[in-house]
Amino acid sequence: MAQRYEFDIAVIGGGPAGYVAAIRASQLGAKTALIEKSHLGGVCTNLGCIPTKALIHAARAMLQAQSARPLGLEAEGLRLDFSRTARHRDQVVARLRSGVESLLKANRVELRRGEASFADDHTLLVKTQGGQGRLCAARILIATGATPAELPEAPFDGERVIDSSAAVSLEELPESLLIVGAGYIGCEFASAFVTFGVKVTIVEALDRVLPLMDEDCAREVFKLLKKQGATVYTSTKIVKVEKQKGRLKAVLSNGKQATVQKMLVSIGRRPCTEGLGLEAVGVRTDAQGAVTVNQHMQSSVPHIYAIGDVNGGTQLAHVASQEGLVAAAHATGALSAKMDWRVVPACAFTFPEIASVGMTEEQAKKQAAEVTVKRFPLRALGKAQVDGAVEGFVKVIADARTGELLGVHIASTEASTLIAEAALALKLEATAEELASTIHAHPTYPESLREACDAAVGLPINWTG
């Protein structure tokens, strides 16, 4: 790369897209800088994936303790000390955040603390508390992420109307909580908080919870939320929100009202592009402010890339990291590097866990002339019976003519782990027969995937359905 630049590559943002891209670029021989205005690890490490899973882990432990009587274990007097739950959450976040900084140092990535914006298409202004500096790079990767979208009827106030970042950082549990939006973020918080004893009400504008995931899987989450005592309203919107003394009253489009201590709004996220100065350097964005990119992750200015949530694509940390790897490879000279979004596993860490990869049943039936859809229920699995985790199933969707797997959808304990094998199978264009003929250890949950594939090829063993 041209020697007139201070760096070969500069990355704006140290989240799962940015820090991964910076490390890979340095590994590939590029002199690399990373600019981060806040905590390393981004929303994922500090306010998203990691701290929410710490809460979910505590909630799962509570559920397991509460259901341990058939095993001969008595859990009388079980109570939650949420201050210790919060301490564990914060300790995990701090360790991982520190780990990111250590990785950057080990890979010779220069870390600049501050807020970056474009001075020109190769120059970044970096604003810090002590002033402002400049940084020039041959290639620039934008990885500034996204921020929660507000509800017009109830803007965030950080105290009673909160976003997911505030919800995961709570030091005390609210007595009651209204969750607006039943996507994976809303349902994960609902699963944790209702288990902790919070009175949870969920409002979703669409006709079901987890509307972007398999409908049968979503139904399993809905059933357990209801069983645990959550109130769930679908096909319902917020009409008006009134602030009362220490509480909120929400008027709903279904004619009902919800009076709660706090309201969590989880209706989506919008890209963080404001203040970057993209217009001045010719980087195009869409109507939502997302940077438009090609499969190499290049923006409309070829030496400027956009990775992760800021490009408006699939807003998942593992997708962001893969986009970072692709961008780093392409920016350092591997011009064939491109992103493949066809096989993207998605997980909801609810009860039960939900995981999906590939086409839904509806999508497959539109694309393939003939489709085979088979389910294997967890209640027919030995390991699930041993663990007392018999709710849920594995569903496989295959092309009926070729046998190629088109999609896998799982509602089960350990679904987030099981989906890895399914993702690999789809990536390799494996058939149901190939997966069914692969020996799986017994007794394990992965056997359920093999059993579902047995059924897909017409040779079920441990299930007659």
On whether both 291 and 406 belong to a single domain, the answer is no
* 110: Cα within 13 Å, side-chain hemisphere: 12
CA–CA distance, 136 with 130 (Å, rounded to integer):
20
Shared domain for 421 and 286, answered yes or no, is no
Half-sphere exposure of 12 (CA within 13 A, CB side): 30
Contact 293, 311 (CB under 8 A): yes
What's 143's domain CATH number? 3.50.50.60
Residue 462 lies in a domain: no
Same domain as 373, residue 237: no
Q: Are residues 241 and 210 both part of a single domain? A: yes
pLDDT tens, 44-88? 999 999 999 999 999 999 999 988 888 898 878 889 999 999 999
Q: Does 408 lie in the same domain as 372?
A: yes
Q: Which residues form the domain of 390?
A: 352-456
| Structural domain total, the chain | 3
Peptide bond into 70 cis (omega under 30): no
Cis preceding-peptide flag for 271 (omega within 30 of 0): no
Q: Which residues contact 157 (CB under 8 A, 6 or more apart)?
A: none
Q: Helix 18-27 to helix 82-106 angle, to the nearest 10 degrees?
A: 30
Per-residue pLDDT in tens (0 to 9) along the chain, 465 residues: 445 899 999 999 999 999 999 999 999 999 999 999 999 999 999 999 999 999 999 999 999 998 888 889 887 888 999 999 999 999 999 999 999 999 999 999 999 999 999 999 999 999 998 889 999 999 999 999 999 999 999 999 999 999 999 999 999 999 999 999 999 999 999 999 999 999 999 999 999 999 999 999 999 999 999 999 999 999 999 999 999 988 999 999 999 999 999 999 999 999 999 999 999 999 999 999 999 999 999 999 999 999 999 999 999 999 999 999 999 999 999 999 999 999 999 999 999 999 999 999 999 999 878 999 999 999 999 999 999 999 999 999 999 999 999 999 999 999 999 999 999 999 999 999 999 999 999 999 999 999 999 999 999 999 987
Query: Is the same domain home to 22 and 119?
Result: yes
Residues labelled as active-site residues: 442
Is residue 318 domain-shared with residue 441, that is, in the same domain? no
